[in-house]
Amino acid sequence: MYELSVQGKAMRNVSPQSSQVGGVPCYAIHGHGQPLVLIMGLGGSKEAWLLQVPALGRHYQVITFDNRGVDSTRAEAHEFTIEDMAADAIALLDHLGIESAHILGYSLGGLVAQELAIRHPSRVRKLVLASTLAASGESRLVTEGALAALGLDASSTAQGMSPGSLEKVMPALVSLAFNRWGFRTLTRLLAGTYSRRLRLDGLAAQLRAPAGANTLERLESIGAKTLVITGTRDRVVDPSASHTLAARIPHAKLVLVEGGSHAFSIEMSRRFNREVLDFLRQD
């Protein structure tokens, strides 16, 4: 464990020995206040929240962690499900002695957040679903452009998703995720380096995790107040998916960020952070 200061707040970064499948994932804690758990998307580590942690950590105890197959949290099993990933988040809350927390899920992390809210309603205070969609078992995870980047076609489902070359796939997906040239170019360069930190089997397992998952018909059971937020120019997950989520989750609030990309939490971090904070502060 180590501690340092982030915007005047204490941060603890912990890598428990039990950070395997069925154990506690590697995590970091930033700031103080009500707990807010951030669940990252495909291939992203806890460090990917670097533009959210300072802003959110001023008001909340922000907890970030590595999903299965990413960075320090290794996946012993070759296959795992969205339900397994949600169980990891619950294991982390249990480990930290947290009865309930605000949950923010981004992209693939949004699927995990939905499952957590459906299966463990008492553990979720408020729910934020960003740039994500509802799983329906056989539906595609991403747009046709993103499927093409993975070397797949429009008939492909989550079950068939397994990238052939990680160093080629990651930059291609990054290019789709960003709309601004500067962000896209810089992040594509970083993706090549970052991809070497990932395990191919871990990323492939994350791609296949939603196969068989089905939240679409259970969204009405979500009781937590929910913010559904997406960019109108998301080229990875079609923005129409957010309309579906907001229509099916009782009393959900839908926020459409004009011109926002799949990675608008980075490109438009101030707007993203402001929308999240405004929602969490509401009664």
The CA angle 94-100-102, to the nearest 5 degrees, is 120
Three-class SS state of 7: coil
Which residues, including other chains, have CB under 8 Å from residue 162's CB and lie 6 or more apart?
A: 204, 207, 208
Residue 175: pLDDT band with limits 50, 70, 90: confident
Which residues, including other chains, have CB under 8 Å from residue 86's CB and lie 6 or more apart?
A: 112, 113, 115, 116, 119, 120
136-172 per-position pLDDT tens digit = 654 455 666 666 666 656 565 555 555 455 556 666 7
CA-to-CA separations, 77 to 17, 39, 68, 87, 90, in angstroms, rounded: 17, 20, 10, 15, 19
- Provide the residue ranges of all domains of the chain, joining segments of one domain with +: 2-142+212-281
Q: In terms of DSSP bridges, do strands 101-106 and 2-6 run parallel, antiparallel, or are they unpaired?
A: unpaired
Instruction: Return the H-helix or E-strand segment holding 151.
Output: none
Of 133, 131, 132, 137, the C-alpha closest to 157 is 137
201-233 per-position pLDDT tens digit = 677 777 777 777 789 999 999 999 999 999 999
Q: For residue 192, is pLDDT > 80?
A: no
Determine the Cα–Cα distance for residues 57 and 62; give it in Å rounded to an integer.
6
Q: For residue 94, is pLDDT > 60?
A: yes
Residue 18: pLDDT band with limits 50, 70, 90: very low
Q: What percent of the chain has pLDDT over 90?
A: 52
- Name the pTM for this structure: 0.84
Of 120, 101, 121, the C-alpha closest to 39 is 101
Three-class SS state of 272: helix
For domain 2-142+212-281, give the fold: Rossmann fold (3.40.50)
Mean pLDDT of the chain: 81
Determine the Cα–Cα distance for residues 5 and 17; give it in Å rounded to an integer.
24
Please list the alpha-helical segments (H only) found in the chain.
Answer: 53-57, 82-96, 108-119, 144-149, 166-177, 181-195, 200-208, 240-248, 264-267, 269-281
Q: In what order do the strands lie in the sheet with 9-14?
A: 2-6, 9-14, 27-30, 61-65, 35-39, 101-106, 124-130, 225-231, 253-257
